[in-house]
Structure 1
Amino acid sequence: MREIKFRQWYQKTNTMFQSLSMRANTNAGEVEIIPAKMTGYIPMQYTGLKDKNGKEIYEGDLVKGKAYEFNGCPRIIGEVIYDYCEFKVKSRRDNTSLLKAELNTTYEVIGNIYENPELLEV
């Protein structure tokens, strides 16, 4: 079972913080995050995974590492996104599904899209 939690980017002050409150309606499959409905807050969900250093990985994080677990694979820098019921690393090259075994050994969180957008330009 994956732990459900969020962090939020507050646009007015350019500040990242853990969500103050969360409500879940498991019957309807809905989650409401407070203050997510307030203007200027951008919620990012925890993937339930950690990088090779044990750091929690959230949507919007920027990670670097090998896209696959075999020799000759290029290193990538990409954004963690939620797409078609799974978390992926979106790079300029492609989208790679995040597998727990790969994240624990090959990926490292190096920032996020709000505080470190310049990392995607590399």
Structure 2
Amino acid sequence: MQNVSNFVIKFRIWDGFHMNYSGMMLPISGIPNKNLVVQQFTGLYDKNGVEIYEGDILEVDMSPERPHIRTVIRDADSYQLRFDAYDSGFLFKKEHAQRFEVLANIFQNEDPTFPPR
């Protein structure tokens, strides 16, 4: 059995205009906005100590030639890094997190060269 006592469960919510971070648990069903998108904290931090959430756009330094841009996707019971919706992705592992840098997220991204939503 895995010890989860050190795992922090956090969420952020995109309301269509702002990214909201809260330490409070609120029932989503009681909030009247149907455009809310809840994103879970992966439990990992990038090389700069920034929390990594699903929906974040990362620069992944896994290749000596050049870094790759990937998006954090939650797929069933794991997190994956994918280039786009057609990419099968690769598993998001703790030992690789120091090679990641959070650049943006899919909702507040203004650079069209990043992966599409």
What's the TM-score bracket when you normalise by the shorter of the two chains?
Answer: 0.7 to 0.9
Give 1:18's aligned residue.
21
List runs of 5+ in structure 1 lacking aligned partners. Answer: 24-31
List runs of 5+ in structure 2 lacking aligned partners. Answer: none
CA contact (8 A) 1:47 1:59 kept: yes
C-alpha deviation, 1:38, in angstroms:
3.6
Please report the RMSD computed on the Cα atoms of aligned residues, expressed in angstroms: 2.5
Q: Which amino acid aligns with 1:83?
A: D
Q: Among residues 103, 106, 115, which one is paired with 1:113 in the alignment?
A: 106
**Percent identity of the aligned residues?**
31
Counterpart mapping for 1:5-84 below 5 A: 5-11=10-16, 14-19=17-22, 21-22=24-25, 33=28, 38-67=33-62, 72=64, 75-84=67-76
The separation in 2 between residues aligned to 1:60 and 1:36, in whole angstroms, is: 21
Higher share in strand: 1
Secondary structure in 2 matching 1:4? coil
The separation in 2 between residues aligned to 1:96 and 1:107, in whole angstroms, is: 14
* Pairs aligned (count): 107
